[in-house]
Structure 1
Amino acid sequence: MASNQPSDGVDPQVLIEEKSYVKIITMNRPRQLNALSANMVSQLLKSFIAYEEDANVKLVILKGKGRAFCAGGDVSAVANDVTNGHWKFGANFFRKEFTLNYILATYPKSQVSILNGIVMGGGAGVSIHGKFRVATENSVFAMPETALGLFPDIGASYFLSRLPGFFGEFVGLTGARLDGAEMLACGLATHFVSSSTLPLLEEALFKVDTSDPVVVNSIIEKFSQRVPLKQRSAFLRMDSIDRCFSKRSVEEILYALESEAAKRADEWIVEAIQSLKKASPMSLKISLRSIREGRLQGVDQCLIREFRMCCHVLRREVSKDFFEGCRALLVDKDKNPKWEPSKLELISNEMVDRYFTKVDDEEWEDLKLPRRPTPTISAMSKL
């Protein structure tokens, strides 16, 4: 049974089907690579809350239509809203999105995300926090926010900081793209299933009549496979990654990478250096601190802090880089952002500190997350 059918000739942005005790949610903006609009976030939040309270729903499957699972939040729309109105318009989008992320991170029922395509930014927020993340040979994961003048949000400082070693710093700062095998190896994915086998997996999951994650896991395992990493995979260079990305500052990380490159010009090192030099210096600074703080915080604390950071970004108090990044990469597409401050050494500790303080506005309030009946579940936990 399908719902959310169009009544005015316009395709709904979220499709919902029902198979016995299973709800299948499909993000339906294929031309926009299923980028999360405010409407989609609202629908997803409403649906997940309703299914949590519905005894007839035992399992939720989330997937995307087309070649992407979800390429992130619709940040250009957020930037446009702020430019044409008030920063709080954008803040309201993040407030609702982060609430959805928290609901998923603490969800008592099993959620299976089928990551058969692009998974970036906000797309990671609606999947990585869930119990099961199924990657395929088509999966492409990235947190490319520093190239846009933003930072890895949606609770990313929680799950990136829990990847092996300092791999999370590498992924979060450089925006490096990972394939399905790398997602499985580092723990971002819980399983790897060939895309040709997905219809069989879904058919098997449609028969689930329990929320028991052990049962769901055993079904997915039947269709799963172990896949080797490509020889050029950065994950096979964890010694070098740990050596470089464990440094205390972005400047020290960059210096360490350049020292490694002088010894051997591995492709991943060259790409990492190039990415860091193209990214917003302010974004790099606040991203590194955010991931480091995330190591010592719960997912709720990470989301509350990241919401503060987003509000400061939208208020353009210290830097306007997010709006410049949107202009250069998404609107004009000249791919030549003019970052300000333009260099890492021009950024003081006080400037970075501003992003982590409460917003100075009488009408503003911190993110207030809903009380949850279940204890917080780590997105990176193993069965």
Structure 2
Amino acid sequence: MLACGLATHFVPSNRMLLLEESLKKVDTSNSFVVCSTIDQFCQQPSLKQKSSLNRLEIINKCFSKRTVEEIISSLEEVASNSASKWVAQTIKYLKKASPTSLKITLRSIREGRTQTVGECLQREYRMVCHVVRGDFSRDIFEGCRAILVDKDKNPKWMPPRLEQVHDDAVEEYFSRVDDPEWEDLDLPVMYSNGRIMESKL
């Protein structure tokens, strides 16, 4: 949580009551004072051996590549010079996954970096709608068949190879559903003191 920027402090559970009592005594909303108070009780968390943070250098190096193909190629390069089980397992999982799903997921993650929460929700809603409707691919149903129904764990993806999933095919998943009976996600407008508020991460 700290590394992702979703948390600012780590306070052990056995110190939470002490922190709460100290915060009750703070008579200002000044963020520096509040942070200084929390700092007295926080500590640097110890990472578990399997924590992704221990692999951050490899993750940043490989997953910053532009395409899924380049990401896998970069991981394979690391694997050729390393005995890392995590890298080998990651390559295995990526190669076993639906090529279409990999490409729309990467596109979605990249777009989400610069979008508001509302824009992210709308984008993901449209993606999921197209996936469950089977508008452009039946991979979701094939995956369910292979894992949940027949349990042969041998899905037949269409198309079966990453290079066969073209950008224009990926683009379709981010379009509004062209069906009058299928409503687009319409988020309510939020107001605060008469002003329109925009949700942001």
TM over 0.5: yes
User: What does the per-residue CA deviation read over 1:264-318, in whole Å, with 9 as the maximum and x for residues that have no partner?
Assistant: 1223322321221232221110011111112232222121111111110111112
1:367 corresponds to which of 173, 185, 191: 185
2:171 corresponds to which of 336, 339, 353: 353
Change (3 A) 1:255 1:224: same
User: What does the per-residue CA deviation read over 1:79-101, in whole Å, with 9 as the maximum and x for residues that have no partner?
Assistant: xxxxxxxxxxxxxxxxxxxxxxx
1:295 corresponds to which of 113, 118, 121: 113
Match of 1:334 in 2: 151
Q: Per residue, is there more strand in 1 or in 2?
A: 1
Match of 2:100 in 1: 282
User: What does the per-residue CA deviation read over 1:336-356, in whole Å, with 9 as the maximum and x for residues that have no partner?
Assistant: 151422332332222212101
SS at match of 1:309: helix
Change (3 A) 1:325 1:224: farther
Amino acid at match of 1:338: P
Given that 1:234 and 1:268 are in contact with CA atoms closer than 8 Å, whether structure 2 keeps it comes out as no
Does residue 235 (structure 1) correspond to residue 53 (structure 2)? The answer is: yes
Given that 2:104 and 2:170 are in contact with CA atoms closer than 8 Å, whether structure 1 keeps it comes out as yes
Change (3 A) 1:363 1:192: same
Amino acid at match of 1:360: D
Question: TM-score when scaled to structure 1?
Answer: 0.43
Given that 1:260 and 1:269 are in contact with CA atoms closer than 8 Å, whether structure 2 keeps it comes out as yes
Amino acid at match of 2:155: K
Q: Per residue, is there more helix in 1 or in 2?
A: 2
Shift, 1:239, TM fit: 3.5
More displaced 10-residue stretch of structure 1: 259-268 or 309-318: 259-268
CA–CA separation in structure 1 for the residues paired with 2:165 and 2:119: 26
Match of 1:312 in 2: 130
Question: TM-score when scaled to structure 2?
Answer: 0.76
Given that 1:232 and 1:268 are in contact with CA atoms closer than 8 Å, whether structure 2 keeps it comes out as no
Shift, 1:259, TM fit: 0.7
Match of 1:254 in 2: 72
SS at match of 2:47: coil
Shift, 1:185, TM fit: 2.3
User: What does the per-residue CA deviation read over 1:32-52, in whole Å, with 9 as the maximum and x for residues that have no partner?
Assistant: xxxxxxxxxxxxxxxxxxxxx
Amino acid at match of 2:66: R
Does residue 344 (structure 1) correspond to residue 162 (structure 2)? The answer is: yes
Amino acid at match of 2:56: M
The share of aligned pairs that are identical, in percent, is 50
Gaps of 5+ in 2: none
Match of 1:25 in 2: none
Change (3 A) 1:233 1:324: same
SS at match of 1:186: coil
Given that 2:126 and 2:177 are in contact with CA atoms closer than 8 Å, whether structure 1 keeps it comes out as yes
Given that 2:142 and 2:156 are in contact with CA atoms closer than 8 Å, whether structure 1 keeps it comes out as yes
